[in-house]
Amino acid sequence: MRKIAVLARGVVCAVLAMSSVGAAAGADDRVDEMLDMMRRKGQLTDREYESLKSKGDESATKSPRDFRVYWKEGVRFETADKAFVLKLGGRIQSDFAVVALDRPLADELSLATTQNGVEFRRARLEMSGTVYKNFEFKAQYDFADGDPAFKDVYLGVINIPFVQRVLVGHFREPYSLEEQTSSVDITFMERSLGNMFSPARNTGIGILQAYLEDRLTFAIGGFHDADDFGKGFGKQEDYNLTTRLTGLPLYQDDGRTLVHLGFAYTHRFRGDDIRFRQRPESHLADRLIDTGSFHASDVDIISPEFALVLGPFSAQAEYEHVFVQSNPTNDPNFYAFYLQASYFLTGEHRPFKAEDAKFERVVPNHNLFDGNGGWGAWELAARFSRADLSDGGVHGGKMNDVTAGINWYMNPNFRLTFNYVFADRESAGDAHIAQGRFQVAF
């Protein structure tokens, strides 16, 4: 009889648990009836009855907006109705590199032929979420340079009829697949040579829209060039108008097979000097091509983009062409492009977030130390990129980069990356770079 009573109490507790997470209101009445019946039959003592009854009363008083805490690649707080969501996160990227330059190139740039070192490429803390379902925010700060700097710091309104989503603050201008993809999710340690043309983050207002079940996206925004604290003020006309249109003509099997096409355009209103310069896809290396500062009135940049995912294989490419209106330098044109491919030896694929038209976090099929002999996800990658900063009266140089990489995703949060970069500065010399990164991101 005692075993029956223990089993019955277990059933009652299970019913109570169900009622506490959203079962029908009638469940409370049935629980009360069961408790009364069990007490009458002597299967529950008065003390046990009162204890179980009080638990039922407590569950009935829980609000649908009480937070639950759970883990999803980071700590998250969420109410039952999902009207309030809060995520806490951050990232650490610890890099090391060895750089070897040909003697002619080192002499031209007044650099040592061999250099090596370490740095924290990024060290960020962030908090983001939604409030009352239709309002969102994000506050992300980077401490890698010793002083806190703004990254994504914005507020927004979502689910607006016809408009959908509006952001105001400091965030990425809608330009380039590579730029939109987070630094923790890009395939290589650094973005390609052409990333020097990207307007990146600035302070402004943007409208973001998605149609046809997120197969078509459109974004447009107006921005003022800003510093690391989101401030831009002065007499110069440093404003940008930037837009991006993307489509997924093929999307199958939750993104294991897809074709992505996109086009971005940015117009920079200028009335002062501009400058383009770039490192050989290593942040610890020195810049090898540089236009120097020259006067420009306006700058227009176009960028078509392409991506392909076929199971564990992926390919990606972008081209950028820069039209500069500059009478002193005869209106020079610059360009850059890259082609890259990667393959997962362990069968994963690059996940794609259709509503934002960008790649996101790789999730291994089997995490390292998962108890089942898992080794995480292993990815091989290669990229070729080229940049030309010499045209008209500007002689910034031309550079070709070949980068080979190995990525080890131990789990969705920990990643180890090794890159080898061969950089050819035309008419000057070559650079050889071996570098690696330890990364944790939540």
User: How do residues 250-306 score in pLDDT, each as one tens digit?
Assistant: 999 999 999 999 999 999 999 889 999 999 999 999 999 999 999 999 999 999 999
> How is residue 196 annotated by DSSP?
G
Distance CA 351, CA 379 (A): 13
Greater confidence, 381 or 51?
Answer: 381
Quote the mean pLDDT of the chain. 90
Residue 178 pLDDT greater than 50, yes or no: yes
Distance CA 33, CA 190 (A): 65
Q: What is residue 29's predicted lDDT score, i.e. its pLDDT?
A: 61
- Residue range 26-33: mean pLDDT, rounded: 61
- Collect all residues with Cβ–Cβ distance below 8 Å to 276 and sequence separation of at least 6: 196, 197, 290, 291, 322, 334, 389, 396
Count Cβ atoms within 10 A of the Cβ of residue 82 and give its class: 0-12 exposed, 13-18 middle, 19 or more buried: exposed
Q: What is residue 59's predicted lDDT score, i.e. its pLDDT?
A: 53
Least confident of 7-21, 137-151, 237-251: 7-21
Q: Quick one: which H or E segment has residue 28?
A: helix 26-40
Beta-strand relationship, 216-224 and 239-252: antiparallel
CA angle 412, 417, 422 (to 5 degrees): 150
> Residue holding tokens 């510093």?
227
Distance CA 255, CA 253 (A): 5
Strand partners, 394: 391
User: Sorting pLDDT into bands at 50, 70 and 90, what band is 235?
Assistant: low
User: CB–CB of 60/22 below 8 Å?
Assistant: no
User: CB–CB of 131/84 below 8 Å?
Assistant: yes
Q: What is residue 128's predicted lDDT score, i.e. its pLDDT?
A: 97
Q: Quick one: which H or E segment has residue 3?
A: helix 2-20
> Residue holding tokens 């639950």?
68
> Residue holding tokens 């080898």?
420
> For the whole model, what pTM was predicted?
0.85
Q: Quick one: which H or E segment has residue 142?
A: strand 135-142
User: Sorting pLDDT into bands at 50, 70 and 90, what band is 15?
Assistant: very low
Among 93, 386, 423, 404, smallest CA distance to 285 is for 423
First to last CA, the chain: 51
Q: Quick one: which H or E segment has residue 11?
A: helix 2-20
Among 330, 341, 259, smallest CA distance to 296 is for 330
Greater confidence, 33 or 436?
Answer: 436
Residue 61 pLDDT greater than 70, yes or no: no
Q: What is residue 72's predicted lDDT score, i.e. its pLDDT?
A: 85
Greater confidence, 260 or 16?
Answer: 260
pLDDT, tens digit, 9 for 90 and up, residues 92-130:
999 999 999 999 999 998 999 999 999 999 999 999 999
Q: What is residue 1's predicted lDDT score, i.e. its pLDDT?
A: 43
User: DSSP per residue over 33-89, as a string?
Assistant: HHHHHHHHTTSS-HHHHHHHHHHHHHHHT--TT-EEEEESSSEEEEETTSS-EEEEE
Q: What is residue 285's predicted lDDT score, i.e. its pLDDT?
A: 97
User: CB–CB of 347/379 below 8 Å?
Assistant: no
Distance CA 44, CA 25 (A): 24
Q: To which CATH superfamily is domain 67-441 assigned?
A: Porin (2.40.160.10)
Residue extents of the structural domains in the chain: 2-60, 67-441
pLDDT, tens digit, 9 for 90 and up, residues 129-158:
999 999 999 999 999 988 899 999 999 999
Share of the chain above pLDDT 70, in %: 89
Residue 6 pLDDT greater than 50, yes or no: no
Greater confidence, 219 or 10?
Answer: 219
pLDDT, tens digit, 9 for 90 and up, residues 64-91:
778 899 988 889 999 988 899 999 999 9
Q: What is residue 54's predicted lDDT score, i.e. its pLDDT?
A: 66
